[in-house]
Amino acid sequence: MELEESFSEAMPSESVTRAIRNAAPTASTPAHSQIGELAAGSMLGGYRLNRCLGRGGMGDVHAATHAQTSREVVVKVLSTEMMVNDEAIVRFRQEAAVMARIKHPNVVRLLDFNFMSDGRPYLVMEYLPGENLGEILATRSFTVPQVSAIINQVAAALDAAHQLGVVHRDLKPENIMVVPRAGQRDLIKVIDFGICKARRFNHLTSKGTVMGTPEFMSPEQAQGRHEEVEAPSDQFALAVIAYLMLAGRMPWAASTAEEILHCVVHKYPLALSDDGQYGAVEAVLFRAMAKAPGERYRSILAFSRAFDLALIQTGLLPAPFEEDAPPPARLPASGVRGDDQGDEDDQDDQIMARGLEILNRPRRRGTQVGRAAVVAAALMLGGYLGVNHGAVIRERARRGLTELQLLAHGPVARRAMEGEKRMMSRASQNAKAYLSMGTNP
């Protein structure tokens, strides 16, 4: 029987070795000296506990081995004192049910769920060799391509959760595992769905209750607006993590939890750098950290794509070559939209993907004018397709104008001939005209 079925009935490049500023390591005791409620050598079902990896508010986490197969696993056990807390028990079982449903390579896998003889539940998960992102950031930083790879993998994991109506609600570096792989890029795994919000289950959080980690909370979380905590809340947290990885510090000039929450709700993030080198990247992050959920990107995948595009256009991330990466394709959005809006977004994304495919191909000097013209034409066609849809024309025209402006400041335009510059100017004026149409329905 699938784990999910059993729960449904029971539940109503190289890195730079410099320390990251303002990202102190988690205050925890080294794993070898942790003392849990259960001693090393204890047996839980078919699993032998080897050592306690950590203690949390809900219980203990142990490294363990399957007695018959010698497979290494991680076992999470609800603490004895939490057995008198009905909500804690329900949350623990909800975590198991959610993990059983999310089948994604960037989400930690649930292997088993059972009960001890005293009635305490425990989870058995795959063992992930490596460190969490918080531990790594305490000692060193990442290159921009590494940052991009981490953000993309986390976004893919969270989108899989969002598609199932699950909001992580506690995304932070400590809940992102970085697993090294020989000859391949690091594998990223999102862990700990202990306080997630799952649409299919009864809501457990009372109105006004603040849940999460202050440094990575969205404004709606910080104010206890539980009903508004949805997929955009995870997007906000991921943008803060991206900011931290690029800048080496948090986006708020605050130290205490109270000061941080005040900044999250009332203040704008600090600039990524003093020299303005990040340009469009900063604009993407700031939009993902908008105070109102509706002002952020429509999905966490849309955010990660915009983040990569901005890194490429500012010269911080090399554009993928055609033989190394497939053309950008339509990726599923996390948000819930009407059918008409979904069809319009499909058309828009296909047009944008085609333009980006051409833009990212290896370029020859003699073909730059033609390729830039095709990109501009594709962007103008996006505006044409939306001309009869007043609700979306402003967004399309704004997006088209932004793409043209980024292209005009990129390496193509710097090497282009005067004729290409005049063409770009005319295309930019056309995009502005579409924007004007959108403001006067």
Residue type present at position 75: V
* Residue of 411, 399, 406, 265 whose CA lies nearest to 344: 399
What SS3 state is found at 63?
strand
* Residue of 368, 370, 394 whose CA lies nearest to 382: 394
Beta bridge partners of 72: 65
- What dihedral angle (degrees, nearest 10) is formed by the CA atoms of 313, 317, 319, 325? -140
389 phi and psi angles, rounded to 5 deg: -125, 85
Contact 265, 223 (CB under 8 A): yes
Taking the C-alpha atoms of residue 74 and residue 49, their distance in angstroms, rounded to an integer, is 9
Taking the C-alpha atoms of residue 82 and residue 66, their distance in angstroms, rounded to an integer, is 26
Determine how β-strand 72-78 pairs with β-strand 121-126.
antiparallel
**170 catalytic per annotation:** yes
- Token duo for residue 436: 């004007």
Q: Could you count the other beta carbons within 10 Å of the beta carbon of residue 114?
A: 15
Q: For tokens 């339509």, what's the residue?
A: 330
Annotated catalytic residue, options 170, 345, 348, 349: 170
Taking the C-alpha atoms of residue 307 and residue 288, their distance in angstroms, rounded to an integer, is 10
Q: List CB contacts of 161: < 8 A, sequence separation 6 or more.
A: 98, 102, 104, 107, 167, 168, 190, 193, 196, 234
Beta bridge partners of 74: 63, 125
Active site residues: 170
